[in-house]
Chains A and B, each alone.
Chain A
């Protein structure tokens, strides 16, 4: 009789497992896989009571939708399986019962499962560029495989052990490794607990196997692993709770508070972890619960933390290191302690130049170019101002003199007797002007530089002499003023005859004066040209 399972398996086997085939999406491949999954679905149908689908709907459906259908069917299945496993955990004797019943019939199936597991593993080992369809198919298969596997395994564990082992996975090795690990962590109490925990270990082994499978899978299978862990956790919790509640003591709560906390924390951590290594911990936790002493990993960490805190507090209380103390002189720190510290500050000065070969060479090059060009920065001699005036070169005039000899003699005579009246020659005038200017300049300079003041030279030219005391002219600050006047009386007033003031005049003198005036005026008027005589005559006639 061909069971639905066998049919499904057969269909699966028909699908080629060559990896290259799976690289390129092909229509017939996906069709075959879909058909196989449909059969698998049908095979599982009898076990699901609450499944909404009668069969897996494939035609025209997306990979995502097919997966959703499978998911819908398998979720309640998972929970029922969980319950079963829990039951078996609590009552291990039932497993052995199951084992005996099913041993013969299921062996073949187990082998099939084994091969399928291998197949699945191979599929899993393919590349990541597999098409989504194919990935989904894989997941579907594995999910279903796992469910089946779990079912079978929970029924006959003893056989499974022998059946599941292959060249890569040795249960005995696993067991030893686990024991070693726990011994390393917690001491040597493992051996004692071995009997009790054997079942747990088997569970963990199973879970680990599935975990191994899953490690090759995609990430979407994490949830299932976590569920397994939770399963284990719940199982463990039930046990530990039972123990504690039974023998609850003060010490458990208040002296062993740390262990409880650490246990909770371990639980929390386990839930977050994905690794199968977490399985170790909840096993260990159970172990620890059964022993009342010993330190968990967490406790050890706490101890370290505590010691660190103590150190830091001690450091805070001590006086500070000299580097942290602000301005520190040499007297306040140890000898040579500044040499050990890496003092780093910005220098605001350019460092002194290190004279290397290149620098010397560049300087020499510069010097050589300057030499070859002849460009030097020597001191230049300033152009000296000649101190002497240019000598007058007297040119002898060859031309015949324009003046006669008599005229020349005449001029010389005139010059001797009366130098002022002689007509000045052209060059003489210029010379005179120049010498005048120069004399003025020299006078000013002398006044500035000499202590003795020499008065202005008397320049013979017509100038008005003012009637000022003579000493006032010669001295700036005259000590005494003399009455002697500069001018002679006739120079003051040159007048003729008897001079009388207005008050002194007699009547006859006044008359005489007036008569003189009139005479002069008449003489003047006679001289003036007569203009407009006709008008004048009439006026004069009226006036007189």
Chain B
């Protein structure tokens, strides 16, 4: 098991190191393809390697044509199997935090909640790897109010650190009868305004916490990015009067997420490379938006693949 892990890590690092070379090759192939399409002469720097590259181009298919990054490797198996999530808290959680984590367990399908007790993080992650979990989510608090969320994707995957703001839990709403029970169907996802590279990455991380839903579910989970603050909303909809009318009913907690770090290893790997960290004291932070676009309209059109 140990040796297997070591070997996997080495493979991963090796493939990461190859990315540069692969990218070069990809660029060259792309140039040749373009030249062939347009009927233009092949650029002079590629003349020597042209024949070999041309052969490779002919043998390529859709899957191999795109250069893969280590990021894709992390989520390569995610689409094949359903995600399996473990939810825990920081040590000595207060009662409101425990309630919040219970709610989150219903939000993420296929999630398990575990008492923290006195376990060390590395132990937790080891055991999760052994049991084939795909993600671990840790929730932190400040005097009863949840204020931190750490999402770690398991086989060496990325770890995203969020701060929670404006948390409203289901327990706060006193009228339990009106709320009713939470449906447990796989939800549809809405991710809005994740436009930059970092935004796409965050969207990926959040997306792969959920399994592939059925097309006709009534449950919607929305992550909307407004000036680097991601709003989480959880609704049920129904269409009472024909297809065009939509009525929303909010269920589940609502909070704002604020990303402050993305690391390229799991939680216990403290020496892992930091992919992105927030810099609040930089003079231009206020003017920049890191996750999405603040100035354009928020319509995101996407082709639905059948």
Contacts and interface: CB of A to CB of B under 8 A. Distances in A.
A366 B208 contact: no
Contacts of B304: 374-375
B246 to A, nearest CB: 4
B130 interface: no
B98 interface: no
A380 B215 CA distance: 11
A352 B231 contact: no
A405 B281 CA distance: 92
Interface string A374-387: 11111111101000
Given A372-B244, A379-B210, A350 B227 contact: yes
Given A348-B281, A348-B283, A379-B210, A371 B231 contact: no
A371 B285 contact: no
B185 interface: no
Interface string A347-372: 11110110100010001101110111
B233 A367 contact: yes
A382 B75 CA distance: 11
B212 A376 contact: no
A348 B285 contact: yes
Contact of A368 (B80, B228, B248, B305): B248
Contacts of A376: 188-190
A358 B143 CA distance: 29
B301 interface: yes
A377 B188 CA distance: 7
Interface in B252-290: 254, 256, 258, 280-283, 285-286
A539 B293 CA distance: 103
A371 B282 contact: no
Interface string B230-251: 0101010100000110101000
B122 interface: no
B79 interface: yes
B211 A379 contact: yes
B48 to A, nearest CB: 27
Nearest to B301: A375
B229 interface: yes
Contact of B190 (A347, A370, A384): A370
Interface string B205-236: 00110111100000010101011110101010
Interface string B7-43: 0000000000000000000000000000000000000
A352 B166 CA distance: 9
Interface string B78-92: 111000000000000
Query: Which of A350, A352, A382: most chain B Cβ within 10 A?
Result: A350
Query: Which of A347, A374, A378 counts the most chain B CB atoms within 10 A?
Result: A378
Contacts of A350: 227-229, 286
A359 B231 CA distance: 10
B248 A364 contact: yes
B229 A379 contact: no
Contacts of B208: 379
B138 interface: no
Contacts of B78: 379
Interface in B68-107: 78-80
Given A350-B227, A352-B229, A368-B246, A377 B285 contact: no
Query: Size class of A's contact patch?
Result: 20 to 34
A364 B249 CA distance: 10
B124 interface: no
A353 B207 contact: no
B4 interface: no
B246 A381 contact: no
Nearest to B284: A348
Nearest to B168: A355
Interface in B154-182: 165-166
Contacts of A375: 300-302, 304
B298 interface: yes
Nearest to A352: B165
A472 B224 CA distance: 70
Nearest to B213: A378
Contacts of A370: 190
B243 A372 contact: yes
A354 to B, nearest CB: 8
A449 to B, nearest CB: 11
A128 to B, nearest CB: 57
Given A348-B281, A350-B286, A368-B246, A363 B79 contact: no
Given A353-B229, A368-B246, A372-B246, A379 B286 contact: no
A410 B16 CA distance: 60
A375 B246 CA distance: 14
> Which of B190, B208, B244, B305 lies at the interface centre, i.e. has the most chain A CB atoms within 10 A of its CB?
B190
A365 to B, nearest CB: 10
A367 B80 contact: no
A384 B282 contact: no
Contact of A380 (B188, B229, B305): B305
A348 B286 contact: yes
A521 B1 CA distance: 79
Given A367-B233, A370-B190, A371-B220, A379 B281 contact: no
Contacts of A378: 188-189, 207, 210, 212-213
B192 interface: yes
B132 to A, nearest CB: 18
Given A350-B227, A363-B233, A371 B246 contact: yes
Nearest to A383: B63
Contacts of B192: 366
Contacts of A371: 220, 237, 246
A378 B78 CA distance: 13
A345 to B, nearest CB: 12
B203 interface: yes
Contacts of B248: 364, 367-368
Nearest to A367: B222
A352 B256 contact: yes
B280 A348 contact: yes
Given A364-B235, A377-B207, 14 more contacts: A347-B286, A349-B280, A349-B285, A352-B166, A359-B226, A366-B298, A367-B222, A367-B235, A370-B190, A372-B243, A377-B302, A378-B188, A378-B189, A379-B212
17 contacts: A350-B228, A350-B229, A352-B229, A352-B258, A353-B166, A353-B231, A355-B166, A363-B231, A363-B233, A364-B248, A366-B298, A367-B237, A367-B248, A375-B304, A376-B190, A378-B207, A379-B212
- The list of the 9 closest CB pairs from A to B, nearest first, reads A382-B79, A377-B191, A376-B188, A368-B246, A349-B280, A377-B189, A371-B246, A352-B165, A353-B229
Interface of B: 78-80, 165-166, 188-192, 203, 207-208, 210-213, 220, 222, 224, 226-229, 231, 233, 235, 237, 243-244, 246, 248, 254, 256, 258, 280-283, 285-286, 298, 300-302, 304-305
